[in-house]
A and B are shown apart, each in its own frame.
Chain A
Amino acid sequence: MSATLVRPGRGLWRALGDGLAAAERLLTKLRHDPAAITLTLGAPVVLVVIFGYIFGSAISVPGGGNYRAYLVPGLFVTIAANITPSMVSTARDSTRGVVDRFRSLPITRAAVPFGQAAASAVYGLASFLLMALCGLAVGWRPTAAPGTPWRPWPCSWPSSSP
C-alpha cells in the first residue's frame, strides 16, 4: 500500500490532506443544516442593522464622530468570540466515539483539530465578509490603512474614528 512508502516531504502534504478531509466533514455537516448557516451568517447582519439604525440613531458619540465607526469593529470582536461551534462539536464527537474512530485511522494526530480550525476559519471569514459588506452599506468606512502602526489599547481606538 502507498501508505507505507512515505517519502520525506510527503508527510506535510499528507497531514494537510488529512486536515482538509476533517474540515470537509464539518463543512458538509454544516451544508445539511440550513438553520446553522442562517444563524452564523445572519446574526452579524441583524446586529449591524439593529445597533446601527435602532440604537445608532439614539446614541451620540462623546466628542462627535460616527457611531458606526465604533460599532462595526466592536461587532467583529463579538462575532469572533462567538465562533464556538468548534468546541461544542469537538465535545460531542468525543462522547460519541467519533474521535476513537479517527484515532484508529492512519491519519496525523493534528488533522482533526486542524480540520476544526480550518472549518471555523471558513465560516468565520464568510460571516466577517458579510458583516463588513453590511457595515459598508450602513455607512461604516474603515480608516486604518494596511501598514498603520499598531498601537496598544486604549490609544488604538481613535484610529478607527473618521
Chain B
Amino acid sequence: MIAIEATGLGKSFGKVTALAGLDLNVPQGRVCALLGPNGAGKTTAVRILATLTRPDAGTARVAGHDVARQPRRVREVIGLAGQHAAVDDDLTGRENLFILGLMHHLGRPSAGARASALLEQFGLAEAADRLVKTWSGGMRRRLDVVASLIVAPQVLFLDEPTTGLDPHSRAEIWAAIRALAADGTTILLTTQYLDEADHLSDQIAIVDEGRAVAQGSPDELKDTLGSRVDIVVADAADLPAAAAVVHRITSHPPRTEAGERRLIASVAAGALTLPELVRRLDAAGVAAEDVSLRRPTLDEVFLDRTSDPRDTQAAA
C-alpha cells in the first residue's frame, strides 16, 4: 500500500514558488528522505502533507486520506515533529506528553500511562519531572520526536530532526527513527545532511526548486551517476594526456584544472575496470600517482542534481 502519495503538488507564496509540481510515492513502512538545498520546498511539502498548509495545485493522500478534503482523518493517523522543538520549556517532559495525550482523547489515566511508557522507552524517564528548559538540546529534540508518537502514528513526518544537534544526540535520534521504522511506521524526513539520508532511508527524493529531481534508493541514485574516475598524475604536464585517455571512454571531456595534477570524471557504471584504466594510462605514457574508480558519494549525486541556491537567488 502507498502511505504517502503526492501528485503535482504546487504552492506559491506571493511571487515565490515553493513547490512546482512535486510528485512523491512512499510505500507503507518505508523511510523516505527529502533531500534538498535550503529553500527547495522540503518544509512546504511536509506542511502540506501534515495538513498545515493547503496546496495550490495537485493532490496528496496520506494513508489513503486526501489531505485537502479529509484533513481530520489525516491528523488522526500522523505524527509531526517540525523544525523547531515544539515542546513547552515551562512544563516538565511528563506534563508535555500528558497534555498531548489529553488532546489525542486518551483520557487522563491512559494519557498518564502513555507518557510514562514513552519516556521510559526513549530513555527520558530520569529527567521526566524536570522542566524541559533545563534539558539539553538533544533531549529536547528527542522529546519533540516522542511527542509525535503519542498514538503510534501510521505516518510520521520529521522536518530536519537532527539540525543543530551534536553527533551524540544525532545518533540517539537516528536510533529512535530506526526503531520506529522497524515497527512498520512510514517515515518522511527532511534533511540537509546527506549521510543522514544515506544511513536512515530506504528511499531518497532529491528536491530542488519545488520538484523531485531524482528518486530512488541511495544505491540507485548513486548508480545513475555511474562510476567516478579519480586520477592524480605525477607531473602536471601529463594531465592533458590522461584527460585524452579518459575522454576516449566517456562521452564528455573530464574536468581538469590547469596547473593541477588531479582529474575527476564520471563514466557509466560497468564501462570500465580499474586494471584496464591503468593499462590505458600506461600505454599513453602517463605516470599516475593515484588512480581510483569508485562509486559516487551521495554528495556528488546531490551536487549533480541540484542547483546552487546562491545562483538561483542571483537569477531571481
Task: Please list the residues of chain A having a beta carbon within 8 angstroms of any beta carbon in chain B.
Answer: 1-4, 14, 17-18, 20-22, 24-25, 28-29, 32-33, 96-98, 100-107, 111
Does A97 contact B82, Cβ atoms closer than 8 Å?
yes
Which residue on chain A has the smallest CB distance to residue B85? Answer: A97
Interface of B with A (CB < 8 Å)?
Answer: 47, 50-52, 72-73, 75-76, 78-80, 82-88, 90-92, 95, 99-100, 102-105, 131, 147-148, 151
CA distance A103 to B50 in the complex (A): 9
Cβ–Cβ contact B103 & A28, under 8 A: no
A101 touches B102 (CB 8 A): no
Contact B52 A1 (CB under 8 A): no
Task: Determine the chain B residues whose CB is within 8 A of the CB of A28 once the complex forms.
Answer: 91, 95, 99
The complex places the Cα of A14 from the Cα of B73 at a distance, in Å, of 16
B256 smallest CB distance to A (angstroms): 47
Contacts of A106 in B (CB 8 A): 72, 75-76, 104-105
- Other A-B contacts than A3-B105, A97-B82, A104-B75, 17 sampled, CB-CB below 8 A, are A1-B151, A4-B76, A21-B99, A21-B102, A22-B99, A22-B103, A25-B88, A96-B84, A98-B86, A101-B82, A101-B148, A103-B51, A104-B51, A105-B100, A106-B75, A106-B76, A111-B103
- Known contacts: A1-B76, A3-B105. The answer to whether A103 contacts B52 by CB under 8 A is yes
Cα–Cα, bound, A97→B95 (Å): 18
Q: Considering the chains assembled together, what is the distance between the CA atoms of A26 and B85 in angstroms? A: 18
Q: A29-B88, A100-B52, A100-B86 are in contact. Are A105 and B131 (CB under 8 A)?
A: no
Which partner residue on chain B sits nearest A20 by CB separation?
Answer: B102
**Residue with the highest number of chain B CB atoms closer than 10 Å, among A28, A101, A107:** A101
Q: B103–A32 contact, CB under 8 A? A: no
- How far is the CB of B185 from the nearest CB of chain A, in Å? 15
Which of B91, B103, B131 is in CB contact (< 8 Å) with A18?
Answer: B103
Nearest CB of A to B102, in Å:
4
Provide the bound-state CA to CA distance between A96 and B88, in Å.
9
Q: Which residues on B sit within 8 Å (CB–CB) of A21? A: 99, 102-103
In the complex, the answer to whether B105 meets A14 with C-beta atoms within 8 Å is yes
From A2, A4, A24, A32, B131 is in contact (CB under 8 Å) with A32
